Amino acid sequence: SNIDRLPLGNIAETMSLLILSDPDIDYSLTLLGTEGEEVFDLAEIRKTLEDVPVNDPTVLEWITGYLEQKMTLFGGALNEIIS
């Protein structure tokens, strides 16, 4: 929380929108918190999905839910991330 830092908004929804708008980019997100670190790596998810596109609505819904869960674990009730 810094006056010079822009608010990020809902990171899970933002990430899903980025993937929807350009599914060919391998996005990566590192969540840091008092409980440790979690890395979201779209390239790894893409390997697991094989022929299913990452911008498939079901995949995007899963990504949003997964990131929201991780944000709660690492950022607390208000999704406040340290870093």
Handedness of CA 71, 11, 15, 34 (dihedral sign): negative
Cβ distance 40 to 31 under 8 Å?
yes
Residue 32 belongs to a domain: yes
Residue 24 belongs to a domain: yes
Token pair for residue 73?
Answer: 């674990």
Give the range of the structural domain holding residue 64, as residue numbers without chain letter: 11-75
Mean pLDDT lowest among 3-7, 42-46, 52-56: 3-7
CA distance 62 to 17: 13
Quick check: 6 pLDDT over 80?
Answer: no
Residue 1 belongs to a domain: no
pTM: 0.76
Query: What does the pLDDT read at residue 18?
Result: 93
Model confidence pLDDT, tens digit, residues 23-47: 999 999 988 777 788 899 999 999 9
Residue 3 belongs to a domain: no
